[in-house]
Chains A and B, each alone.
Chain A
Amino acid sequence: MKNKNSNQEYWRANLKIVTALLLVWFIASFGFGILWSETLDQIQMGGFKLGFWFAQQGSIYVFVILIFIYIFLMNRLDKKYFESNDED
């Protein structure tokens, strides 16, 4: 039974990580890049209007960073719940 509980805990922790990261994913692309991009345009960053920059550059950088944060958090989680995560 202990094993089953720890599986559920692992899954819940996993869902928390995924939800938090997807929230950022949504805000950076659909939020900054689309819904609020015209408001952000009033801020100028070098030659870019900020909303335009998020739509054509910034969101992509955020995506890359998000996946690497996910890899880091999940590896830590795997270690905590499963001693060896080598499995086919």
Chain B
Amino acid sequence: MDAKGLTYLFVGLSFALYIGIAFWARAKSTNDFYVAGKGVHPVANGMATAADWMSAASFISMAGLIAFLGRDGSVYLMGWTGGYVLLALLLAPYLRKFGQYTVPDFIGTRYYSNAARLVAVICLIFVSFTYVAGQMRGVGIVFSRFLEVDIDLGVVIGMVIVFFYAVMGGMKGITYTQVAQYCVMIFAYLVPAIFISILITGNPVPQLGFGDTLVNSSTYLLDKLDQVTTDLGFNAYTENTKSNIDIFCITAALMFGTAGLPHVIVRFFTVPKVSDARKSAGYALVFIALLYTTAPAVAAFARINFVDSIQDIKYSVAPNWFKNWENIGLIAWQDKNKDGKIQYSAGNALEGVRPSYSDTRGKSGERLLDNKPNSTNSNEVYIDRDIMVLANPEIAKLPGWVIALVAAGGLAAALSTAAGLLLVISSSISHDLLKKTFMPKITEREELLYARIAAGFAILIAGLFGIYPPAFVAQVVAFAFGLAASTIFPALLMGIFSKRLNKEGAIAGMLSGLIFTASYIVYFKFIYTSLNNSEHWFIGISPEGIGFVGMLVNFLIALTVSYFTAKPPEEINLMVENIRRP
């Protein structure tokens, strides 16, 4: 069977598995639908949390990003794992003890205010939809490249699958499909990584091969990579280019943002006991670390392989993957010096950065572009960083079944995260907006029905984002983490660790964190994009890292306002004491 047939087979089998699990784990009550009946084993919950957390961005984009950023890419590695320490030590056990269904539920109850609950719902919906948009694009890329169906059709297929198990099974269905998806995803990530590690360094453990010498040579991989990148005019791979303060703030914003993401937090509501919430945070990080320690190795291998396989190669004999990705518009080549060979080096190859293809083919058979060549450098290659993980097995000439596996893994990563996000959106609507705020009289049956309707609608909107991807998806990722760090995380943390914080303080804190962070990001990312550089930033902090400052603003305002206003009522005092006991 060829690679395409195998891909159909693997993807089909994995989808059949997810649907089978959905049938088996139907939700019968709101307790099932929101928190899987609180009966999930900590190891299973750890896997589900890992799948929920590791999105299309982690699986598909992250290693590619690191491959091109080099050491600067460390912010994602530390930022997206370090948050779990905060979750385990500061939030998960207490929120589990609280025992309700959603994150706004905690904020609304702890701060005895439906206004606080509403602010939390707004932050949650914004953060979650931002995130979902990225997942659907991931689904589209995988479908169009590996199954050669239309991107739109790919998104619709993805929507139908998610609809099926999220609407029917709620949290229960999602949890057990995520366990399966984790297994598919991690297998699909590790297999090519191990193969490539053996090919390049002879060491079967990618985490060690990363620091090993190249096959038949005494040169270390990373030294070779430093040399290759500097030769091509880039910064050395293992050197930072960003300032320390910016790296510090981006890492912090990603860490605190991770700890404030509702779809991750809510996973800890599903285990039976407080001690299980701690345990499942530990298992979750083990499962996540398996991928996250492999990713930088994959990134280094990919960068070396990528350069090796195209540099100074005639386009007419260039590898197939190069032409395949060119055909779907994620690679472009412009023969600046007319020698028919591919030359790759530092700098944007094209004026206007993104390629705009004309309908004609050039002398060597390449897709011609309407862009003017960028004459300030000699780089001839445009490459979308998102393709590195997907293209890696082909670049390394691995067999067809590995490529098929990676396609199934990418889909598992995107679908599992999308489902988790859709669930928190639907439960915040049916539970927090309807049941707890506007329609307190509805019965459990009706609430469950509304939860399913809300999930259905959320899937439709997410699908539209996938079919008509908003151009700003990349920019809004900074938004999701920045807002989670500057609004949700501080409100949760102070709700547990301070008895003094009252409703006025919490609302003022969340709003000031929200306004500060949002206006900084909008200012640099949407309005004055030309000023978006370190000269104009606030003490050298980029919009990606500003959520950390927003968090400090939130703490400061919330504590000050609380100090000057009335203490919270006695029953809140008792509630806080209660959640502090295991």
Residues of A within 8 A of B577 (CB): 7
Residues of chain B within 8 A (CB-CB) of A37 are 240
Whether B285 contacts A63 by the Cβ 8 Å rule is yes
B13 at the A/B interface (Cβ < 8 Å)? no
Within the complex, which residue of A59, A70, A78 is in contact with B89, where a contact is CB–CB below 8 Å? A70
Contact of B78 among A7, A10, A59, A88 (CB under 8 A): A59
**Residues of B with C-beta under 8 A to A88:** 38, 99, 272-273
* Contact assessment for B213 and A47 in the assembled complex, using a CB-CB cutoff below 8 Å: yes
Give the contacting residue for B82; candidates A25, A57, A70; CB below 8 A: A25
**Interface residue A40 (Cβ < 8 Å from any Cβ of B):** no
Given contacts A25-B85, A82-B582, A88-B99, contact A55 B78 (CB under 8 A): yes
Contact of A47 among B71, B212, B278 (CB under 8 A): B212
Given A48-B211, A67-B88, A78 contacting B582 (CB threshold 8 A): yes
Establish whether residues A67 and B281, one from each chain, have CB atoms under 8 Å apart when the complex forms. Answer: yes
Contact indicator A48/B293 (Cβ below 8 Å): no
* B411, chain A: closest CB distance, angstroms: 25
A55 touches B71 (CB 8 A): yes
Q: Is the CB of B251 within 8 A of A61?
A: no
Taking the nearest CB of chain A, how far is it from the CB of B37, in angstroms? 12
Known: A47-B211, A78-B582. A34 touches B244 (CB 8 A): yes
Residues of A within 8 A of B240 (CB): 37-38
On whether A7 and B581 interact (CB within 8 A), knowing A63-B82, A64-B285, A67-B281, the answer reads yes
Chain B hits for A86, CB < 8 A: 273
Interface of chain B, main secondary structure: helix
CA of A25 to CA of B99, assembled, Å: 28
Q: Would B85 and A60 count as touching, CB distance under 8 A?
A: no
Docked complex Cα distance between A86 and B273 (Å)? 7
Q: How far is the CB of A18 from chain B (nearest CB, A)?
A: 5
Decide: B289 and A60 in contact? CB cutoff 8 A.
yes
Q: How far, in whole Å, are A57 and B73 apart by their CA atoms in the complex? A: 12
* Cα separation A11 to B211 with both chains bound (whole Å): 43
Most B-side CB within 10 Å, residue of A22, A33, A56, A66: A56
Assess whether B244 is in contact with A49, with CB atoms less than 8 Å apart: no
Task: Given A63-B81, A78-B275, A85-B275, answer yes or no on A71-B282 (Cβ-Cβ < 8 Å).
Answer: yes
Shortest Cβ distance from residue B422 to the other chain A in the assembled complex, whole angstroms: 27
Shortest CB-to-CB span from B38 to chain A, Å, is 7
CB distance from A54 to the nearest CB of B (A): 9
**Once the chains bind, are A67 and B582 in contact (CB under 8 Å)?**
no
A60-B292 in contact (CB<8A): yes
Interface of chain B residues 268 through 318 with chain A (CB within 8 A) = 272-275, 278-279, 281-282, 285-286, 289, 292-293, 296
How many residues of chain B have a CB within 8 Å of chain A? 52
Q: Report whether A22 and B89 are in contact in the complex, using a CB–CB cutoff of 8 Å.
A: yes
Q: Is there an interface contact between A21 and B89, defined as CB atoms closer than 8 Å?
A: yes
Which chain B residues lie closer than 8 Å to A29 at the CB level? 78, 82, 251, 255
User: A1 on the interface (CB 8 Å rule)?
Assistant: no
CB distance from B483 to the nearest CB of A (A): 22
A67 pairs with B274, CB closer than 8 A = no
Interface string of A39-52 (1 = CB under 8 A from B): 00100011111001
- How many residues of chain A get a CB closer than 8 Å to chain B's CBs? 44
Q: How far is the CB of A28 from chain B (nearest CB, A)?
A: 9
Contacts A47-B213, A47-B221, A74-B275 given; indicate if A64 touches B282 (C-beta within 8 A): yes
Alpha-carbon distance between A87 and B275 when the two chains are bound, in angstroms: 10
B581 touches A52 (CB 8 A): no
For B581, list chain A residues within 8 Å (CB).
Answer: 7, 10, 82
B237's closest neighbor in chain A, by CB?
Answer: A52
Within the assembled complex, what's the spacing in Å between the Cα atoms of A49 and B535? 30
A57 touching B275, Cβ below 8 Å: no
Q: Is the CB of A71 within 8 A of B278?
A: yes
A75 to B282, CA, bound (A): 13
Residues of B within 8 A of A30 (CB): 248, 251-252
* Most B-side CB within 10 Å, residue of A30, A35, A60: A60
In the complex, which residue of chain B has the Cβ closest to the Cβ of A10?
B581
Interface bits B192-215 vs A (CB < 8 Å: 1, else 0): 000000000000000100111100
A66 to B89 Cα, complex, angstroms:
10
Q: Which residue of the partner chain, among B89, B221, B296, contacts A56 with CB atoms under 8 Å?
A: B296
Contact call B296/A57, Cβ cutoff below 8 A? yes
| A70-B88, A70-B278 known; A33+B78 contact, CB < 8 A | yes
Complexed CA–CA distance, A47 and B289 (Å): 21
Which residue, of A55, A74, A78, has the highest number of chain B Cβ atoms within 10 A? A55
Residues A34 and B248 in contact, CB atoms below 8 Å apart: yes
| Contact present for A35 and B85 (CB under 8 Å) | no
* Residue interface bits B202-245, CB-to-A below 8 A is 1, else 0: 00000100111100000011110000000000000010100010
The 7 closest A-B pairs by CB, nearest first: A47-B220, A55-B74, A47-B211, A67-B282, A56-B296, A48-B211, A46-B211
A-B contact pairs, 15 of them (CB 8 A): A7-B581, A11-B580, A29-B82, A30-B251, A47-B222, A48-B210, A48-B222, A56-B74, A60-B78, A66-B85, A67-B282, A70-B89, A78-B582, A87-B274, A87-B582
In the complex, besides A7-B577, A7-B580, 9 extra interface pairs with C-beta distance below 8 angstroms are A7-B581, A18-B89, A22-B85, A30-B251, A33-B251, A48-B222, A56-B66, A61-B293, A71-B278
**A interface residues (Cβ-Cβ under 8 A, vs B):** 7, 10-11, 14, 18, 21-22, 25, 29-30, 33-35, 37-38, 41, 45-49, 52-53, 55-57, 59-61, 63-64, 66-68, 70-71, 74-75, 78, 82, 85-88
